[in-house]
C-alpha cells in the first residue's frame, strides 16, 4: 500500500486542510468540502446510502449515489489514500500521519492535568465548521447545528473547570483570562458574568467589577430580554459597599449527581483503599454498564484519597486497531516524569516535602524506561531488542517499571493507580498491570479499575485475566446495579420550580425510559432542554406540559448520546449476528426463540449461538420459560423468551432497518405465524452467508 501523506485538518473555526504542510487544492464544491468534513468527524465507516441521503436527499437514489462516487473521487485526488471505501461504506482513514483538531481536543479534555485542559481550549478557534453551510442539504444543516452546540458545550465545561481551579487557588488573573474566553463563547451566561464581577473585585478592581455589571445588564437585555437576577443585583450591592467578606462562592460549574444508593459501594471502595495503604490490599474492579455511575462514585472516592495525601495516577483505556500497546499505563505514569528537565539518572517526583522531589535510578533502568517514555534520558543510547521478539527484554521492561514505581511510592508515601474502561485494554497492558500488582501488592499503592462487563465475551482477555486473579485470591470486585425509581426522581427534583404535576409528568417520561440508568436520564432531560420543552429562567425551571404530551404520544426518540453508546456496543457484533438481531427486534422487545428461528429460517444451532453471544454482551436477557399454548410451537411446549436489555437498545436496532425492510419482515412474521410448524417454505434471509463463512464475532 502506498505510504500516506501527512494530513493536518482543523474543523474548529475556519476550515483548514493541509497535505504535507500545504493547503489542498480546491475541491469541486462546498458540498464536497462538507462531505469531507463529515467523514473526518465520524469514528466509524459510514454507509453510502446515508451519505447520499444526507447530501443529495432531494435527488433519486441512483443519482445521489452517482454524485457521491464523483465527489469521493475528487476527495481522493486531493488527499490520496485518505479514504477506505467499498460498495457499501466509506471511512476516512485515521493513523499517526493524520492530525485532526477535534480528535486532539477530545484527547486533551480527558486529562486531569490543567496544562492539557488549557491546551484543549487553544484548539477551539471558533464554531465547528464555522465557515460552512449547505442550504440545499437540510439534514446536514441539522447535524451541523447539533455538532456546533455540542462543541460549544464541551469547551464551556473545560473553561468552567479551569476557572474553578484557579479561583480556589487565588489565581484571579488566570481565572479572568479563562472567563473572558467563556463569555466570548457564551455571552448570555449570567453566572459567568457574576463570576467575572467577583473576580475583578477580589483582584482589587472594584470599578471594573461595577462597570462589568453594566455591560452584563446590557447583554442580558439585548440577547435575552431579561433583567439581571436578584443574585447578580445582590453581588453588585455588596461590591458597591466594599464588602470584604465576599468569597469565591459563585458556582462556576454544575454539581455532580448525588451518590444515591451508593453508600455501601462507597464504603466498600474506601475499605479497599484502606487495606491497600496498609499493604494488604487487592486489585479492585468496579463493574457496571455504561452510564450507571461508576465514574461519579470513583471520583468521590479518589477525592477522599487525595485529601489524605495520596498521589493519583490515572488513565483511560481505548480500543486501538493499530497495535498500540501499554498506552494506558504509559499515560498514567507520565506525570511522574518531567520531560523539560531531563536530568540523567533521575526522574522527577511530586516535589517539596517528599524526599527531595527526585527519584534516582541507575542507567540500566533508565534505558529500559526510555522504551515507553522517550523523555527519560540516559547517558547513552543502547540498541535494545524488540519486546515482541525477546521475552527477556519484556521482563526487563516490566521490572524496570516496577522498580521505578517502588521508588516513587517510597517518596510519595501513598499512591493510587486508576484505569478506566479496562475492557478496552490490550493484552500487553493487562500483563503489565498484573505484574505490577504482584510486585507491589505489599506497598501502599491501590490498584483500582472500572470496566463494562457487557463489552467482554467469555474468551475476552480481560475475562481470562480477571479469572486468574480470582483464583489467586488477589481480586476484589463489585457490580453497580441500576438506580431505583425513587433515586431517579430525587435527581429530577434538582430542577427547582416545577410543580408537582409537572415533576410527575417529567418522571413518567424520563424515569420509565431510562430504566435505572442515570446517564440515560440526564440525556433524556438534555434532549428536552434542546427542544425547549424544559427551560430555565432565573434559576427556576418550567416544563411545557402540552408539548411533552405530544412528544410522548408521537414516540420518544433515542437521545444522541445514548444512541452513540448503543451503536458502539452493536458495532462489535458479527454482521450476520447483527442481521439476526434486527429480525429479533421486528418480533418485539420480547421475542420467542422458536419464532425467531422460523422467521429467519436459520439453523437452530446458529440461532442459539447468537443468543448466547447476545446475552454475554448484555444485549438481551433470558426471561422465565412459559407454557407454549398458541405460540405455533405446539400446545404445551415450553416457550423460551428473551428481551432486549434496554428499550432504547431495541429501538436503535429496529431503526437500523429501512422502512421497506421492516415492512417485508413484518409480512414474513405474519406468514410464519399462520403456517403450522414444519410446513414453512421460507428461505433464509437475503444477505446472510453460510455459517462457515460468517467470520469472527468481533
Overall average pLDDT of the 511-535 stretch: 90
Q: What is the model's pLDDT at position 571?
A: 85
Q: What is the model's pLDDT at position 341?
A: 40
Helix runs in 473-625, H state only? 485-492, 500-514, 518-530, 545-554, 560-570, 575-587, 593-600, 604-616
Q: Are 569 and 617 in contact (CB under 8 A)?
A: yes
Q: What is the model's pLDDT at position 606?
A: 87
Rounded to an integer, what distance in angstroms lies between the CA atom of residue 507 and that of residue 493?
Answer: 10
Nearest to 673 by CA among 630, 642, 644, 618: 630
Q: Report the 10 Å Cβ neighbour count for 61.
A: 12
Task: Give tens-digit pLDDT for 71-129.
Answer: 999 988 888 888 888 889 999 887 767 889 998 898 888 877 777 888 888 889 888 99
CATH architecture of 278-479: 3-Layer(aba) Sandwich (3.40)
Q: How far is CA 660 from the centre of its chain?
A: 33
Overall average pLDDT of the 143-165 stretch: 87
Q: What is the model's pLDDT at position 381?
A: 54
Task: Give tens-digit pLDDT for 46-60.
Answer: 999 999 988 988 888
Task: Give tens-digit pLDDT for 597-635.
Answer: 888 888 888 899 899 889 988 899 999 876 654 444 444
Q: How far is CA 622 from CA 22, 526, 618, 626, 639, in A?
A: 57, 32, 10, 12, 11
Q: What is the model's pLDDT at position 337?
A: 76
Q: What is the model's pLDDT at position 357?
A: 52
Q: What is the model's pLDDT at position 576?
A: 86
% of residues, the chain, pLDDT over 70: 85
Task: Give tens-digit pLDDT for 173-187.
Answer: 888 989 998 898 888
Rounded to an integer, what distance in angstroms lies between the CA atom of residue 378 and that of residue 64?
Answer: 59
Residue 1 pLDDT class (50, 70, 90 cuts): very low
Task: Indicate yes or no: pTM above 0.85.
Answer: no
Rounded to an integer, what distance in angstroms lies between the CA atom of residue 302 and that of residue 309?
Answer: 11
> Which of the residue ranges 331-335, 366-370, 474-478, 524-528 would you say has the lowest mean pLDDT?
366-370
Q: What is the model's pLDDT at position 445?
A: 95
**Candidates 1.10.10.10, 3.40.50.1100, 1.10.1140.10, 3.30.70.380; correct CATH number of 564-693?**
1.10.10.10
Query: Cβ contacts of residue 656 below 8 Å, gap of 6+?
Result: 582
Q: What is the model's pLDDT at position 429?
A: 92
Q: Are 321 and 571 in contact (CB under 8 A)?
A: no
Q: What is the model's pLDDT at position 79?
A: 87
Residue 308 has pLDDT above 50, yes or no: yes
What is the edge-to-edge ordering of all strands in the sheet holding 620-622? Answer: 590-592, 641-644, 620-622
Task: Give tens-digit pLDDT for 343-365.
Answer: 334 555 444 334 445 566 777 78
Q: What is the model's pLDDT at position 466?
A: 92
Q: Which class would CATH give 1-179? A: mainly alpha
Amino acid at each position: 500500500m502506498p505510504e500516506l501523506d501527512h494530513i493536518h485538518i482543523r474543523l474548529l473555526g475556519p476550515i483548514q486542510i493541509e497535505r504535507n504542510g500545504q493547503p489542498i487544492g480546491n475541491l469541486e464544491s462546498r458540498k464536497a468540502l462538507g462531505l469531507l468534513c463529515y467523514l473526518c468527524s465520524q469514528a466509524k465507516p459510514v454507509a453510502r446510502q446515508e451519505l447520499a441521503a444526507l447530501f443529495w436527499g432531494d435527488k433519486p437514489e441512483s443519482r445521489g449515489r452517482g454524485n457521491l462516487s464523483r465527489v469521493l473521487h475528487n476527495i481522493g485526488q486531493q488527499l490520496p489514500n485518505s479514504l477506505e471505501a467499498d460498495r457499501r461504506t466509506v471511512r476516512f482513514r485515521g493513523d499517526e500521519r493524520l492530525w485532526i483538531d477535534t480528535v486532539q481536543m477530545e484527547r486533551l479534555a480527558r486529562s486531569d492535568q490543567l496544562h492539557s485542559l488549557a491546551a484543549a481550549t487553544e484548539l477551539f478557534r471558533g464554531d465547528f465548521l464555522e465557515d460552512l453551510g449547505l442550504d440545499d442539504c437540510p439534514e446536514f444543516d441539522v447535524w451541523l447545528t447539533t455538532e456546533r452546540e455540542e462543541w460549544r458545550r464541551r469547551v464551556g465545561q473545560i473553561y468552567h473547570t479551569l476557572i474553578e481551579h484557579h479561583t480556589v487557588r487565588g489565581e484571579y488573573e488566570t481565572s479572568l483570562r479563562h472567563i473572558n474566553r467563556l463569555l466570548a463563547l457564551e455571552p448570555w451566561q449570567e453566572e459567568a458574568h457574576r463570576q467575572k464581577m467577583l473576580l475583578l473585585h477580589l483582584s482589587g478592581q472594584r470599578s471594573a467589577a461595577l462597570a462589568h455589571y453594566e455591560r452584563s445588564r446590557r447583554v442580558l437585555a439585548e440577547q435575552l430580554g431579561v433583567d439581571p437576577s436578584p443574585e447578580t443585583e445582590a453581588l453588585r450591592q455588596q461590591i458597591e459597599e466594599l464588602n470584604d467578606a465576599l468569597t469565591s462562592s459563585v458556582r462556576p460549574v454544575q454539581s455532580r449527581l448525588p451518590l444515591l444508593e451508593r453508600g455501601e459501594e462507597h464504603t466498600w471502595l474506601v475499605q479497599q483503599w484502606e487495606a491497600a495503604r496498609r499493604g494488604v490490599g487487592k486489585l479492585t474492579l468496579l463493574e457496571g454498564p455504561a452510564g450507571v455511575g461508576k465514574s461519579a462514585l470513583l471520583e468521590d472516592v479518589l477525592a477522599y484519597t487525595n485529601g489524605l495525601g495520596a498521589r493519583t495516577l490515572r488513565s483511560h483505556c481505548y480500543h486501538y486497531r493499530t497495535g498500540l500497546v501499554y498506552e494506558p499505563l504509559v499515560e498514567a505514569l507520565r506525570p511522574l516524569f518531567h520531560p523539560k528537565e531531563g536530568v540523567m539518572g533521575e526522574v522527577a517526583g511530586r516535589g517539596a516535602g517528599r524526599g527531595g522531589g527526585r527519584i534516582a535510578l541507575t542507567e540500566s533502568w533508565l534505558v529500559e524506561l526510555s522504551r515507553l517514555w522517550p523523555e527519560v534520558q540516559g547517558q547513552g543510547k543502547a540498541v535494545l531488542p524488540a519486546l515482541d521478539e525477546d521475552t527477556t527484554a519484556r521482563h526487563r521492561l516490566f521490572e524496570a517499571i516496577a522498580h521505578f514505581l517502588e521508588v516513587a511510592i517510597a517518596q510519595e508515601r501513598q499512591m493510587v493507580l486508576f484505569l478506566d474502561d479496562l475492557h478496552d485494554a490490550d493484552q500487553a497492558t493487562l500483563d503489565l498491570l498484573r505484574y505490577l500488582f504482584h510486585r507491589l501488592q505489599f506497598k501502599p499503592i491501590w490498584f483500582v479499575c472500572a470496566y463494562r462487563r457487557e463489552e467482554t465475551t467469555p474468551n475476552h482477555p480481560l475475562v481470562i485475566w480477571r479469572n486468574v486473579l480470582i483464583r489467586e485470591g488477589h481480586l476484589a470486585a463489585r457490580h453497580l446495579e441500576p438506580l431505583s425509581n425513587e433515586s431517579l426522581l430525587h435527581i429530577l427534583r434538582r430542577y427547582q420550580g416545577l410543580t408537582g404535576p409537572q415533576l410527575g409528568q417529567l418522571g413518567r417520561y424520563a424515569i420509565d425510559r431510562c430504566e435505572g440508568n442515570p446517564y440515560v436520564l440526564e440525556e433524556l432531560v438534555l434532549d428536552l432542554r434542546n427542544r425547549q420543552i424544559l427551560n430555565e429562567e432565573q434559576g427556576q425551571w418550567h416544563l411545557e406540559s402540552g408539548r411533552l404530551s405530544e412528544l410522548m404520544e408521537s414516540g420518544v426518540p433515542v437521545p444522541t448520546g445514548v444512541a452513540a453508546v448503543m451503536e458502539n456496543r452493536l458495532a462489535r457484533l458479527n454482521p450476520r449476528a447483527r442481521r439476526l438481531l434486527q429480525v429479533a427486534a421486528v418480533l418485539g422487545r420480547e421475542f420467542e426463540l422458536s419464532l425467531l428461528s422460523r422467521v429467519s429460517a436459520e439453523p437452530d444451532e446458529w440461532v442459539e449461538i447468537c443468543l448466547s453471544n447476545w446475552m454475554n454482551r448484555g444485549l438481551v436477557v433470558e426471561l422465565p420459560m412459559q407454557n407454549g399454548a398458541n405460540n405455533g410451537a405446539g400446545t404445551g411446549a415450553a416457550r423460551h423468551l428473551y428481551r432486549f436489555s434496554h428499550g432504547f437498545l431495541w429501538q436503535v436496532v429496529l431503526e437500523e432497518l429501512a422502512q421497506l425492510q421492516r415492512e417485508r419482515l413484518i409480512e414474513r412474521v405474519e406468514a410464519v405465524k399462520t403456517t403450522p410448524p414444519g410446513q414453512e417454505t421460507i428461505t433464509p434471509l437475503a444477505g446472510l452467508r453460510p455459517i462457515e463463512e460468517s467470520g469472527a464475532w468481533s
